[in-house]
């Protein structure tokens, strides 16, 4: 193997469905109000896929944009990693389905199930393959169709979630840039706090599980909130320490978009101004593994990410899981990498 290489994000892409489900729409469906939802979560609307759309369809749209911006073809991909908790089906993997849609005939393909932290688990995995010289290009997609597993009779959860996809092409960048540090973690003891109870080998699908709404996501909101505040701060601190970067030198924080109050706690802790935080949950809600890549893609499109910026991606979710990474931003390929 060659010496370890500098690895970064070469390009991003995102896709959200056309249908908008606003808080006012939800007022007609469950006992809630726009004021209640906004004051407790910061969410005003979310995107909902059509009955015909599956996660691979959303992933395909985001992936096409990322590949075009990276100026590489699907045939050049060595691996596809799809982070999702709403796969098209139990198997084959959504990554294999996406591989076929893209025509990425050379690419290995696998799914990652780490809920809202899935994209971070995916890019951390991708970076190791490229850093060690085994692969040249890896496509990582975070995608969810959470509307398919949301109970729209449960006012505590149906106000939170939306559908979308975000993609990133991971490859070698110029020396010293790209990923500077990673932090991943899990606490399986808290698994039941956020889960989809039925449909697996523990509780197989049956008429009883359907009748008892066990195929909808279940969440202990208060406990998850406390966990999220704690680990988002600690994971951010960890990647700063590993990279030797001071809080004052954070140029952009891209957090998982779950709740405005969780994000506000991090903003206060790290003394960040609004222009240094990417927030879009008011328009999309919680898109689980898609939330970080979609927010990053929109920040890039808005000109909020510049060459050399210190960018932190941080998330938390079911598992329970958490993760973060710090990048010294550059989309410039390494010299001689031959895109």
Q: What are phi and psi of 74, to 5 degrees?
A: -60, -30
d(CA 125, CA 40): 34
Q: By the 8 A CB rule, do 148 and 142 touch?
A: no
Beta strands 321-328 and 178-186 are: antiparallel
Vertex 329 angle, CA 104 and 134, to 5°? 40
Q: Where are the alpha helices (DSSP H) in the chain?
A: 23-27, 34-41, 55-70, 94-102, 118-131, 207-211, 221-243, 260-270, 281-284, 291-301
Q: What are phi and psi of 224, to 5 degrees?
A: -65, -40
Active-site annotation, residues: 116, 256, 286
Q: By the 8 A CB rule, do 262 and 229 touch?
A: yes
């Amino acid at each position: 193997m060659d010496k370890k290489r500098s690895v970064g994000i070469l390009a991003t892409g995102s896709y959200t469905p056309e249908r908008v489900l606003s808080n006012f729409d939800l007022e007609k469906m469950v006992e809630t109000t726009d004021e209640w939802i906004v004051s407790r979560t910061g969410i005003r609307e979310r995107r909902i896929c059509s009955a015909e759309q599956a996660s691979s369809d959303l992933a395909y749209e985001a992936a096409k944009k990322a590949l075009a911006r990276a100026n590489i073809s699907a045939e050049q991909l060595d691996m596809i990693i799809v982070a999702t908790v709403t796969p098209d089906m139990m198997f084959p993997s959504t990554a294999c389905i996406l591989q076929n849609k893209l025509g990425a005939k050379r690419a290995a393909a696998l799914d990652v199930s780490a809920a809202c932290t899935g994209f971070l688990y995916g890019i951390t995995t991708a970076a190791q393959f490229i850093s060690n010289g085994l692969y040249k290009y890896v496509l990582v997609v975070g995608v969810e169709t959470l509307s398919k597993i949301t109970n729209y009779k449960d006012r505590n959860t149906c106000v939170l979630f939306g559908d979308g996809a975000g993609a990133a092409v991971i490859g070698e960048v110029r020396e010293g840039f790209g990923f500077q540090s990673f932090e991943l973690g899990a606490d399986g003891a808290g698994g039941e706090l956020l889960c989809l109870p039925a449909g697996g080998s523990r509780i197989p699908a049956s008429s009883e599980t359907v009748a008892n709404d066990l195929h909808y996501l279940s969440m202990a909101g208060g406990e998850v909130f406390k966990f999220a505040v704690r680990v988002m701060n600690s994971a951010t601190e960890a990647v700063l320490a590993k990279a030797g970067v001071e809080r004052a030198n954070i140029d952009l924080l891209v957090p998982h978009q779950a709740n405005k109050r969780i994000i506000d706690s991090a903003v206060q802790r790290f003394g960040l101004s609004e222009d240094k935080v990417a927030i879009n949950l008011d328009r999309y809600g919680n898109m689980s593994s898609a939330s970080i890549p979609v927010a990053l893609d929109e920040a890039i499109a808005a000109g909020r990410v510049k060459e050399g910026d210190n960018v932190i991606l941080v998330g938390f979710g079911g598992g329970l899981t958490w993760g973060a990474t710090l990048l010294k931003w550059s989309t410039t390929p390494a010299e001689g990498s031959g895109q």
